Amino acid sequence: MPVITLVNEGKTLEVVERANLRKALLKNGISPYVGKDKFLNCLGNGLCGTCRVEVVDGKGAAPISPLEEASLLGLVPLYARQVPKNVRLACRIDVTKDMSIKTYPVITIDWKLTKERLTLATIWTIFGGTFLFVTARLLYEIATGR
């Protein structure tokens, strides 16, 4: 049975093979969430990016998938997180071999990417809104004959 070493807590957990890391942590009273994320998360569906753990020794974890990477960076198109390469989502890891993890890794906002996203959102709002208004006005004029 694979063993998960929790570096910060100084504990080890023995889990069945292919056990979900998030579920194993929660089952043993260790929350992968910080603060309000304990209540505001996607319940292990890989969408919110809040169940982050730092994989110190990751032989027991499959490679990261594109969806996991996107969730880690932030699916909300208005901001982006700066995430170290060894940070993963606990809910996306099925433990197949021994591994060591650190809970509560430090994540920062990627201000450069956030600025780009905000700029794009602003452009889409201004021009998309104008396009919709002009199209609606045109359709109204055609429909009413004015």
Contacts (CB under 6 A) with ligand FES, residues 73-132: 89, 91
Binder of ligand FES out of 51, 64, 80, 83 (CB under 6 A): 51
For 133, the token pair is: 């208004």
Distant-in-sequence contacts of 70-78, Cβ < 8 A, 24+ apart: 71/46, 71/47, 73/49, 73/110, 73/113, 74/49, 75/47, 75/49, 77/117, 77/121, 78/114, 78/117, 78/118, 78/121
With contacts defined by CB under 6 A, name the span among 47-55, 56-64, 105-113, 131-139 that binds ligand FES: 47-55
Among 6, 21, 71, 107, the residue binding ligand FES under the rule CB under 6 A is 71
Find the length of the chain: 146
Q: Which of 15, 24, 44, 61 binds ligand FES (CB under 6 A)?
A: 44
Judged by beta carbon, residue 6 or residue 22, the one nearer ligand FES is 22
Positive or negative torsion for Cα 38, 66, 63, 80: negative
By CB under 6 A, is residue 48 in contact with ligand FES?
A: yes
Residue placing its CB nearer to ligand FES in the complex, 11 or 38: 38
Tally of CB atoms within 10 A around 48: 19
Among the listed residues 49, 64, 83, 101, the single contact to ligand FES using CB under 6 A: 49
CB of 10 to ligand FES, least distance (A): 24
Considering only residues 23 to 42 of the shown chain, the ones binding ligand FES according to CB under 6 A are 41-42
Neighbours of 67 (CB within 10 A): 13
Q: Which residues contact 29 (CB under 8 A, 6 or more apart)?
A: none
Write out the residues near ligand FES by the rule CB under 6 A.
41-42, 44-51, 71, 89, 91
